[in-house]
Amino acid sequence: MSSSPDLQSPPGVVELREDVPLKAGAAGGGARLCGGGPRLILAAFAALTLAVTVALLTQIYAGDYEVVPHGSVSSSAAACAGAGAAALRRGGRAADASVATALCLAVLTPHRTSLDASGSLIYWEYRLSRSQLPTVLEWGAGVEAANASRERPPRLLVALAALHQRYGTRPWAELLQPAIDLARAGYPVSATLAAAAAAAGLAGYATPTRSDPGLADYLDALRHNTSSELCLSWHCPAAVRWAEGVPAARAGAWRVWGAGAGGALAVLALQSALDAASVDNSTSTVDSVLQSVVSSLQQQSVARAAQWPGGVASGVAVVDPRDTYVALVTGLSTPFGSEAGAGAASASAGAWARDAPAAPLDLAPAIIADQHVCGARYVVGAEAGAALAQGAAAMLLATPGGAVAAAERARLLLRPPARLLPEPAPPAPPGAPALNFVLQRGDALLSHADSRGGGVASRF
């Protein structure tokens, strides 16, 4: 007896009872579409498991390129950049590298910095940039009282001890050691150093190498105390000035942090030139922007006249593996310090010469960053405000990869009131101010030590 038509499924419709898919040879397109489904799912899971296993094994044995240690130190002495980079390789931070490099420069380049140098520093942990702005540390000229006691310790050592106490991770004694070794064993005398010594009438720099055992003994005596103990004895809080959370100045599409008297001048010049260039970028060229920079510097020199900063300086730029930046510039009112050559009258029986700046020094550390996360960031140790303004303008307008050529581009020296001079040919003392920098774009680093300073950037 045939079944009723009402109980039969219409042609082309698959029956949806629970037992239909489980019946062998069930008819209908749905059964054909689902055929082999479990096998496909199992195969996909197997392929995914294999891919994850291979990726994990590759990371374990080959490492992840994003966390490979990297860092750089740029300064006007190859041995000093190397000392800073060595501190980074041993697991140190940017503050540790800055201490080792600055102490080394006080030995190798005494015509531009010393243990009694004034200074300015910008410190920034970039990975915390969403919640933490840079910190500025300044000491010496323009910070301490004019009648500072003659019994005071050397300024640079006090500031570096304060920096290390707050941010350092490597032992203080370890960071002193490169400077001690160079002072005791001897170091090469550069042509610029020899020329500066001859101009100052100082003997002992006409030989290819020079040692300074008195300086080595003085530094060696400081190895037995920690930076915290030294700061307690030296009253570091009264000798240095910290400024937390310093806001950026806007210059065109860039954020700029500049410290020191020279850095302040450079920031104003960059703002004037880059703001104008962003408004009329159709006609702006590197040359036209540099003309605006120089014009701004000239106007500032007329306005400030006798208060225009001077002296000599040495610049350092550091980036550590954790993307912490230090831009540091230390300097003296005159080459070798105002009391160089005083013999027994010098502090610590001649181990270091005092410097007594009568006016602000031309120190110009800077950090310049674009508006994008992980975009371009320049850490700059500039030895004069005019050098920072001109060099930074050229670098920021350069094509990617052209920062080195931009930093080496010829610059003008500015002498108040509004007098422009071409750079002297080396090794004429005191030499043209150098512009040492490290550029980070994403995870890539480009570092360069200006040929004017004769240094080498050290990376790993």
The full set of domain ranges for the chain reads 69-338+355-459
Contact present, 366 and 392 (Cβ < 8 Å) = yes
- Residue 348 has φ and ψ, to the nearest 5°, of 50, 45
The closest of 100, 79, 35 to 458, measured between CA atoms, is: 79
pLDDT at position 2 is 43
Residue 39, Cβ density class (10 Å: 0-12 exposed, 13-18 middle, ≥19 buried): exposed
CA 79 to chain centre: 18
Q: Is 301 helix (H, G, I), strand (E, B) or coil?
A: helix
Most distant CA atoms of the chain, gap in Å? 131
Residue 228, Cβ density class (10 Å: 0-12 exposed, 13-18 middle, ≥19 buried): middle
**pTM over 0.85, yes/no:** no
10-residue averages of pLDDT along the chain (460 residues): 46 46 45 56 77 61 48 96 97 98 97 97 95 96 68 94 98 98 96 91 93 96 96 95 97 96 96 82 80 94 87 97 97 93 56 90 97 88 97 91 92 87 71 92 92 86
Give kind and range of the element (H or E) at residue 387. Answer: helix 385-397
Strands in 376-382's sheet, in edge-to-edge order, are: 249-251, 254-258, 364-370, 376-382, 435-441, 444-448
pLDDT at position 40 is 73
